[in-house]
Amino acid sequence: MSEADVKSWINGDESAKRMLDRVLTSRPSFSLPPPLHRIPLRVANVVEIAGPSPSAKTQILTQTAVSCVLPKVWNGVHYGGLGRPVLYIDLDCRFDVLRLVEMLRHRIVQVNGCSSTAGNEEILKLSMRQFSYIRCYDSFELLATLKTLHHRLQKEKESNGIGGHLLMIDSIGAFHWVDRASTTLPLGGKNRKCLSLQNVLEIVVEDLRKLLLIHPMLVIVTKTAIVGTTGNEVKRNFKRWPSSGTPDTSSELERLQKPYFREYMPSIWQSFVTHRILVQGSDDHLAMPKSQENDLAYVSEWLLPRLNILDKFVVRDAGVFLVS
Amino acid sequence: MASLKRLETEFPILDRDFQSFCALRGIFTDGLHRPWSNGVELMEDAQKNKHVLSTGCEGMDFLLRGGLHKGQVTELAGPSSSGKTQFCLLTASTVAYKHMGGVIYLDTGNSFSAKRIAQFLNQISRPAFDEMQPIVLQKVMNSILCQSVFDIFSMFDVLHCLESKLKSQMCRGDNDEILIIIDSISSLITPILGSSGSQGRALMVSAMSLLKKLAHEYNLAVLVTNHTVGGDGGIPKPALGESWKTLTHVRLLLSRDCGSDTYHVSLLKHPSAASGKAAKFIINN
């Protein structure tokens, strides 16, 4: 090695400042509505929203989709959206498009006031065109969708030049039981792998990783968490002595009854997820001074990275709103 | 292999050799996934096809924001003798009469009663005393098809037959059926749900998947009934466990005052309405 080579090797390729500039422009951060707002999320992050049923997970996804498809500025009006296309893979098959339209309309009217409805319809159609939706009724269809996604994204990139999609998968655990039960089914031909939970998720993770390398996207996935309480037997024992209603025993009872969420996804999925947030319904109904009825509140907590802040939010007609 | 042949014009690399390669190794590409839909197409489909079917009961219609939505699966849970079958029969009569569509009634407990349907039809058509003309009555009742199923596998059979029938009808363009009622789906699923072992839950999930597919692709509304089990503090909660909770779109909990005709129903889950709302209604004899 000549002296010039050694010198250039010591000097390095670029300074830290230049690298940071480069990364921040090529991988911008998404500013998402609550409760996903605490952590700056970039492309190639995989966010898992876990929670028991019902806990407003699909509402959070819909709200995020709304703020994603709205353009930033259109016709001189600042809508404040991200203007990025959204790909929604529905495994639960419970998506309600009219709810998405309702939330979108509320946002548009909030920005525009109740002015020209023709303009509102136009921007609604423009935003809805950025939203792509597909349903998968079993794991085969999911795998087929992921395999053909690259080709579709490539075609879109060539025709439109937009990158930076948002990929949403509603309920990655939807086929959990079906895949577990079909471990023993032979697939015809000795060289084919057996369909099993592990295999399906391995292929899903592998395909997603490959997609994220070529087409950097932000992936948001919901997962239904299975709740198990440890304190069921204890509760029955306590019921037999109703006289022991002192504050000490009731707080102990509460502590013992804290629900824990069983993780049922294989470790390959758990290591693929880079961020995790837990949503659950909170027990206290909030009596808001403005609304007539008590709104059901939900609590969200970031598990990965661990933040010791609990966000409370409610779901109203216009969307998901942070309360405290 | 038809789709490969179609793609051949677009991508010359998929020539005859490639197609025979795929065929030899059992790689099939036919219709494995549906095409992606655009948001605008979804919106138009919802507005054009996914109407709301009134159930014939005002309290329930108010709670459900109009009634049963086509394309969605509604679950009605309640303890025994809380009026689930009565409500199913009322809904079947209303849909057959007012919306003039076909109803498929899958009955698991021999509780379907044609006499009661006739009574409901007379009530709906003319609130006054004269009865409906027998010809009209017969025509409306002909559109309600009742089938007894006693286990989940025969339900799968019926649904698969229905699917092929609807597929051929769709090609021709006349879709008659608009409602499927399964009373009660919990008596089909409970015998196969063990605490461990995933076969029962897998069958439950695939049955609901099939129902949701039928609802969405062929624009049907689906109503299923469920029984209740004791929950925390003795309050009844719907049966079939945790994994069932995510499978239906709308969940309702029904109860009846002892010995009276008044029913109380509360909304447990709805895709676009707040849960916790309740309503009361009366079904007359």
Give the chain B residue whose CA is nearest to the CA of A133. Answer: B37
Question: Cβ distance B228 to A204 under 8 Å?
Answer: no
Spell out which residues of chain A touch residue B34, defining contact as CB-CB under 8 Å. Answer: 134-135, 141
The span from the CA of B90 to the CA of B57, in Å, is 8
Report whether pLDDT(B2) > 80: no
**Per-residue model confidence (pLDDT) at position B274:** 73
**Per-residue model confidence (pLDDT) at position A256:** 44
Residue A136 sits at the chain B interface (C-beta within 8 Å): yes
Residue A247: pLDDT band with limits 50, 70, 90:
very low
Size of interface A-B (CB pairs under 8 A): 122
CB atoms within 10 A of CB B249: 22
The span from the CA of A258 to the CA of A255, in Å, is 6
**Per-residue model confidence (pLDDT) at position A40:** 81
Closest-CA residue to A100 (of A50, A73, A61): A61
Q: Which residue has tokens 């609604």?
A: A124
Burial B111-126 (b: 16+ CB within 10 A, else e): ebeeebbbbbbbbbbe
Residue B46 sits at the chain A interface (C-beta within 8 Å): yes
Give me the residue spans of the domains in chain B.
1-35, 50-282
Q: Quick one: fold of B50-282?
A: Rossmann fold (3.40.50)
pLDDT digits (tens, 9 = 90+) for A131-155: 999 998 888 888 888 888 888 888 8
Q: Which residue has tokens 């390669």?
A: B21
Q: Which residues contact A233 (CB under 8 A, 6 or more apart)?
A: none
Q: Quick one: fold of A40-231+246-323?
A: Rossmann fold (3.40.50)
E-assigned strand segments in chain A: 29-30, 41-42, 46-51, 73-74, 77-78, 86-90, 131-135, 166-170, 218-224, 226-229, 259-262, 275-281, 297-304, 310-316, 319-322
Peptide bond into B272 cis (omega under 30): no
Spell out which residues of chain B touch residue A125, defining contact as CB-CB under 8 Å. Answer: 40
The span from the CA of A221 to the CA of A69, in Å, is 18
Residue B246 sits at the chain A interface (C-beta within 8 Å): yes
CB contact under 8 A, A181 and B199: yes
Residue B236 is inside which H or E element, if any? strand B236-238
**Per-residue model confidence (pLDDT) at position A255:** 44
Q: Which residues contact B40 (CB under 8 A, 6 or more apart)?
A: A125, A128, A129
Closest-CA residue to A315 (of A99, A111, A132): A99
Pairing of strands B73-77, B250-256: parallel
Instruction: State mean pLDDT over A196-207.
Output: 86
Spell out which residues of chain B touch residue A296, defining contact as CB-CB under 8 Å. Answer: 274-276
Percent of chain A with pLDDT over 90: 7
Report whether pLDDT(B212) > 90: yes
B43: helix, strand or coil: helix
The span from the CA of A266 to the CA of A270, in Å, is 7
One-letter amino acid of A118: A
ipTM: 0.84
Mean pLDDT of chain A: 78
Residue B138 sits at the chain A interface (C-beta within 8 Å): no
Residue B209: pLDDT band with limits 50, 70, 90:
very high
Q: Which residues contact B223 (CB under 8 A, 6 or more apart)?
A: B68, B73, B74, B76, B88, B91, B179, B180, B181, B182
The span from the CA of B82 to the CA of B171, in Å, is 41
Bigger pLDDT: B158 vs B35: B158
**Per-residue model confidence (pLDDT) at position A234:** 43
CA atoms within 13 A on the CB side of A314: 20
Residue A260 sits at the chain B interface (C-beta within 8 Å): no
Question: Cβ distance B160 to B137 under 8 Å?
Answer: no
Spell out which residues of chain A touch residue B46, defining contact as CB-CB under 8 Å. Answer: 97-98
pLDDT digits (tens, 9 = 90+) for B47-70: 888 888 988 888 888 888 888 999
Give me B97's structure tokens. 């009469």
Distances (CA, A) of A146 to A61, A149, A154, A201: 20, 5, 13, 12
Mean pLDDT of chain B: 84
**Per-residue model confidence (pLDDT) at position A251:** 47
Q: Is the pTM of this model over 0.95?
A: no
Q: Highest-confidence range of A162-166, B136-140, B209-213, by mean pLDDT?
A: B209-213
Instruction: State mean pLDDT over A240-255.
Output: 45
**Per-residue model confidence (pLDDT) at position B24:** 61
Torsion of CA A217, A163, A321, B268, to 10 degrees: -60
Closest-CA residue to B220 (of B170, B154, B272): B170
Q: How many residues does chain A have?
A: 324
Beta bridge partners of B146: B105
The span from the CA of A45 to the CA of A42, in Å, is 6
pLDDT digits (tens, 9 = 90+) for B3-46: 666 666 666 666 677 667 666 655 555 555 678 888 888 888 88
Least confident span in A162-166, A261-265, B163-167, B182-186: A162-166
Residue B12 sits at the chain A interface (C-beta within 8 Å): no
CA A263, A96, B181: angle at the middle one, nearest 5?
A: 90
**Per-residue model confidence (pLDDT) at position A214:** 86
Residue A253: pLDDT band with limits 50, 70, 90:
very low
pLDDT digits (tens, 9 = 90+) for A49-91: 998 877 788 888 888 898 888 888 888 788 878 888 899 999 9
For chain B, state the CA radius of gyration: 22
